[in-house]
């Protein structure tokens, strides 16, 4: 018998990621959450705790986190109705700073390239 190589927590994490995204998009009416994107969901091995990582662009991140925590029980109830689970995991929301870190790294690299280009241009001017 072929066994699936993915852990149940990973499979359920992907399902919760998709469902929480749909719930935020279609069912939650809080305007502070309209630009929230769920980036990933990580579950504990016993499937009772889920960490939901999210990102938000151009909005107050702390207010969005508070709004998500406030809407957490509603989101959890929606998951319970949509998914056939013996136990719906408790949701812990955490800001995913990966996009901001990537943007900062890209800015640093662009600055390095600009400095290299300007020093190359200066060395070419000096050689003429």
What percent of the chain shows pLDDT beyond 90?
A: 36
55-92 pLDDT per residue, tens: 887 768 888 899 999 999 999 999 999 888 888 999 99
Q: What confidence category does residue 3 fall into, taking pLDDT thresholds of 50, 70 and 90? A: low
Give 7's pLDDT tier (boundaries 50, 70, 90). confident
If you average pLDDT over every residue of the chain, what do you get?
85
Within a 10 A sphere around the Cβ of 71, how many other Cβ atoms? 22
DSSP strand pairing (49-56 vs 90-95): parallel
Highest mean pLDDT among 50-59, 86-95, 101-110: 86-95
């Amino acid at each position: 018998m072929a066994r699936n190589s993915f852990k149940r927590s990973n499979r359920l994490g992907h399902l919760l990621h998709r469902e929480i995204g749909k719930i935020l998009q279609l069912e939650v009416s809080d305007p502070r959450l309209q630009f929230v994107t769920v980036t990933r969901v990580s579950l504990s091995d016993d499937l009772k705790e889920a960490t939901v990582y999210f990102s938000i662009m151009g909005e107050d991140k702390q207010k969005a986190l508070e709004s998500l925590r406030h809407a957490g029980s509603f989101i959890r109830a929606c998951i319970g109705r949509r998914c056939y689970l013996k136990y719906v995991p408790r949701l812990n929301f955490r800001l995913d700073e990966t996009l901001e870190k990537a943007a900062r790294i890209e800015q640093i690299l662009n600055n390095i390239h600009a400095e290299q280009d300007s020093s190359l241009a200066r060395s070419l001017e000096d050689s003429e």
